[in-house]
Structure 1
Amino acid sequence: MTINNNRFDFIPLTHILLACTITTILSAVAIFHNLVLILTILYGATILFFMFKKKYTQCFIWLICALFSTQAYLTVQRDLKKFQEHASFLQTPCIVKGVILQKQASDLHKEQTTLLLQTFNIYNKAAGVIKASKKIVLLMPSKRAQKFLEGQTLTIFKAMLSQPKPDEEYRTYLIKEGIWATAFITSERIFINNGDNRSWFAQSSTLFAQFLHRSTINLFNPLFLGKREKTITNLSIQHQSLYWGIVHHMARSGIHLVTLFGLFMGLFHYARIKHFYRYLICGILMFGYLEISIPSLSFLRALSMIMIQIIGKMHKFQYSSVHALTLTTLFTVSYNPWCILFLDFQLSFGITAVIIWLFQRKWAKTVAFAPKIIIPS
């Protein structure tokens, strides 16, 4: 199909999304290998070539690809700047005040607990005050961390904050997770704010845990909340699950969310709930589950694809798993390009792409998003 004397060719949405996704991923790889100049030259030469050939559609697509690649580059530079700023607060005693976001225990090698702290402010006598919110990982002996609960506000005195060296891979992981520094807490004085100002969910979880056996909690937390503790008890449960051939249930990922989504949709179907409200309620439940759990990358991928399906069904669009995956990948890489360097992204998105490709090749035909006109892609 051609329009305006072959100057504007119609290209299916599937091809546009695939082009943007692939070029953005390749651009992120080039950015991490310091090939930004070559990348800029390639984009500029390609756009000029299509303009010279008067292929304005291809030129427009490459402009969109360049826009997403630019977003990925700006995100990388922003994250590096945020990680490297306030270097004067490192390796010096600081007063840190913040709220505990996550708590994870480990007793495999030595009894140690990890706290993820969202800071309110960081004070140093020589450097001043950091009022910007930052994430800090605190490592401390498990005996000392027993009294700390998620949602509590702590004030830590004389905390020595540090960052990994530039050539260490752990530094890349911290940047990806948005963590600014780490600290090992041994004898530092820690003050817990008076009163229990934790969230309603944190208080409810503590109350709920009092009625459960410890072994039940070790099964409930990783399966439903994504909270895995590296303890001997949890390791024993994993070995027992491996013996019975059900160890896959401990790998909380997108399949758990998909199963939950299918269960809710089945219940709503038999309850005779209207089509629109069925998807609306399910979307609210999915976001509620996200709020109370610790999401992994595969969990977020599945949630994003499900929400695209819900929005499409509510507006009576034709749903395409290829479109959902490419949109999810595109925005994931644009928002956090660092994730492409890690195995969870590569396996989650890669295996999902292979499954969708095999399914589409065998059973289905991809169609472009359109409320009334279905266009083969």
Structure 2
Amino acid sequence: MDKSINKSMLSNFYEEEVQAICVVKENLTKDNYKEENFEKYLIYVEDIKHLENIYNINEKMILNIYNKTDIEIGNKVKIDLQIKEPKRNTNPKLFNYKLYLQTKDIFSTSTSRGNNIEILEKENLNSFEKTSINFRKNVSEVLNKSLDEKNSMLMKSIILGDSSFLDEADVLKFRKLGLSHILAISGLHIGIIFGFIIYILNVLKVHRSKSMLISIILIWIYGYLVGYPPSVLRGSIMFSFMILANITSYRYDSLNILSLSGLLMLLYRPLWLFSVGFQLSFLATATILLFTPRVKDIININNKKIKDALIIIISAQIGTLPLVIYYFNELQSISILANLMLVPLLSISLVFSFTTLIVSILSIKLSIFIGILTNAILNISNFIADILNNFTYLNITIHSPSVLEMLIYYFIIFVLLKIIDISLLEKKVQRFMFTSFIIITILDTVISSFNSYTKIEFIDVGQGDSCLVRFKDKNILIDTGGSIMNSFNIGENILLPYLQKTGVKTIDGVFISHFHEDHAQGLISLFGNINIKNIFASYKDSSNDLYRQVVEEANKYSVPIRLVTEGDNIKINKSSYIETLSPPIDVDHLDDNNKSLVFI
């Protein structure tokens, strides 16, 4: 089912060539594309000209330019482009780019060769947009002067909620340690900033009610400057209601306010419901509120600060686990330890970094001095993160759970924490529930063990091919897809996540038709992540870079590469085998396509 809400005028011009007048709002070009004559922008389309007719649009759109240009943020430009419908995901449970854009109120993308661009105005931003851009520039400049390069990149990511400042290896490290929430501006950040502002105002002897009012105003301003991600908006709304309750002496009910915050946000932008950030933010907050009092009774630690921190971390981890596994397919085994050790250090670094930004207005030298202290703390946190990262091999890859599995998980947690107290039920009802659960579990196991069907799944890998064949006790993969025209990694972004989400941990045989990128490149990403028992191919080609890379990786992970030709039969199980139809034994005189492996 397509979860789109079509309120786009641009959708009427999909696949049409138009001339657009638009304002450049944001540069989305990643560093690894900057040398490839490719640029990517977020633009605000004011008008388009199509077939001599001019239409007033006023809508955001993604612009991809396959050329190098002089476009800058704030430019108002006239440009020839083709409007396109964003691609939705055609593989179940994988990232849906179309829906992702819609959660940001973007319904169209476009492409341009960039040959005919006219800059109409250099600066076409309103005062609020200019303030936001200047804020980001000032944050970058001050942190670059005050901190080491690596630490500056990390703090810019945390303060601005933009992980693009970090390289992919660091982002992956944070994810594997269960610290991705640090790189998004979460409720934790808002709480730290709010507490920091309150503390400063208290030192300045500002009356408490006034200091709380000033603090929430500053929080809303900060939210605007960083673009109001869902977690910031949620935190701002909740803190606003908390202050209102404090001033008016009304009772503050956190769960009711959380629900009201969610309702208000969804009324403003309904598709946020499908945003991973929105889901995790609200789920983490809700489960902290629900689970903390129960977990508190279980943990027996004398040190109150450590106990309180551990209770919150465990509550959030237990509460968000099904959703984290659904989206990222990994149980981070040392996440609790990583959060307990690194969140306090990074929280202190966040406070020091904000202090640096404020002090820099008065004295750059003093801000650099504070930066020395911040560097020291961040160096310690980086050292700890690097040590813990050596143990992420203990993480467990898990398939994406179904809705039923998630409901069962939460029911068990609610029972264990006595949020649902089944002891209040009659003994007969308790016995019925327990017996039903055992019977359903046994039946599911028995039915699965007798299930002998063969399932064929065609995986959408773009231009190339990939097909997964599931037998009762075996899995084979026919080709792995890949990309010829661009640097998008099909194996890493489509094939591997698909296999992980569907619970495939072992492939008994990978059959490669021929060693062209669109048929075999994705195999590289599977090594070390999926247990591959055999690779079958019809020829060797040491002059082919991809072939040599496959051989190198296969040798590294002790995966045999077996050559098959016309007439060879490969047994799958008692009732299934593969018969090779082509190529013949002598393939030296054939090109790669005619050497291709063909079988039934």
5+ residue gaps, structure 1, are 1-31, 34-75, 364-377
Which secondary structure does the structure 1 equivalent of 2:79 belong to?
A: strand
Structure of larger gyration radius = 2
Alignment length, in residue pairs? 281
Q: CA deviation at 1:240?
A: 7.4
CA offsets per residue over residues 89-145 of structure 1, 9 Å max, x none?
Answer: 22222222222222223245785543111222222235x23313101011235x726
Q: CA deviation at 1:293?
A: 0.7
Distance 1:310 1:130 in 2: 46
Q: CA deviation at 1:181?
A: 1.0
Which secondary structure does the structure 1 equivalent of 2:18 belong to?
A: strand
Distance 1:167 1:234 in 2: 26
Q: CA deviation at 1:337?
A: 2.9
Distance 1:288 1:276 in 2: 19
8 Å contact from structure 2 (residues 80, 112) kept in 1: no
Which secondary structure does the structure 1 equivalent of 2:84 belong to?
A: coil
Distance 1:209 1:166 in 2: 35
Q: Structure 1 pair 210/351, CA: closer, same or farther in 2 (3 Å)?
A: closer
* Matched residue, 1:158: 80
RMSD value over aligned CA atoms?
3.4
TM-score by length of 1: 0.63
Amino acid corresponding to residue 80 of structure 2 in structure 1: K
Equivalent residue for 1:144, pick from 60, 68, 74: 68
Structure with the higher helix share, 1 or 2:
1
8 Å contact from structure 2 (residues 80, 117) kept in 1: no
* Matched residue, 2:118: 191
Distance 2:276 2:182 in 1: 20
Q: CA deviation at 1:177?
A: 1.9
Which secondary structure does the structure 2 equivalent of 1:105 belong to?
A: coil
* Matched residue, 2:584: none
Aligned: 1:300 with 2:238:
no
What are the residue-to-residue correspondences of 1:281-300 with 2, within 5 Å? 281-300=214-233
* Matched residue, 1:98: 22
Distance 2:271 2:231 in 1: 15
Q: Structure 1 pair 279/81, CA: closer, same or farther in 2 (3 Å)?
A: same
Distance 2:136 2:119 in 1: 19
Q: Structure 1 pair 250/138, CA: closer, same or farther in 2 (3 Å)?
A: same
* Matched residue, 1:349: 282
Q: CA deviation at 1:165?
A: 5.8
Distance 1:121 1:296 in 2: 28
* Matched residue, 1:29: none
Amino acid corresponding to residue 134 of structure 1 in structure 2: E
Q: Structure 1 pair 243/193, CA: closer, same or farther in 2 (3 Å)?
A: same
Distance 1:98 1:274 in 2: 47
Q: Structure 1 pair 204/340, CA: closer, same or farther in 2 (3 Å)?
A: closer
8 Å contact from structure 1 (residues 164, 171) kept in 2: yes
CA offsets per residue over residues 191-216 of structure 1, 9 Å max, x none?
Answer: 33344344244246447756736656
Distance 1:207 1:263 in 2: 20
5+ residue gaps, structure 2, are 91-95, 297-600
Q: Structure 1 pair 316/106, CA: closer, same or farther in 2 (3 Å)?
A: same
Which secondary structure does the structure 1 equivalent of 2:251 belong to?
A: coil
8 Å contact from structure 1 (residues 162, 182) kept in 2: yes
Which secondary structure does the structure 1 equivalent of 2:163 belong to?
A: coil
Amino acid corresponding to residue 140 of structure 1 in structure 2: I
The higher relative CO (CA closer than 8 Å, separation ≥ 6) is in 1
8 Å contact from structure 1 (residues 119, 134) kept in 2: yes
8 Å contact from structure 2 (residues 40, 62) kept in 1: yes
TM-score by length of 2: 0.41
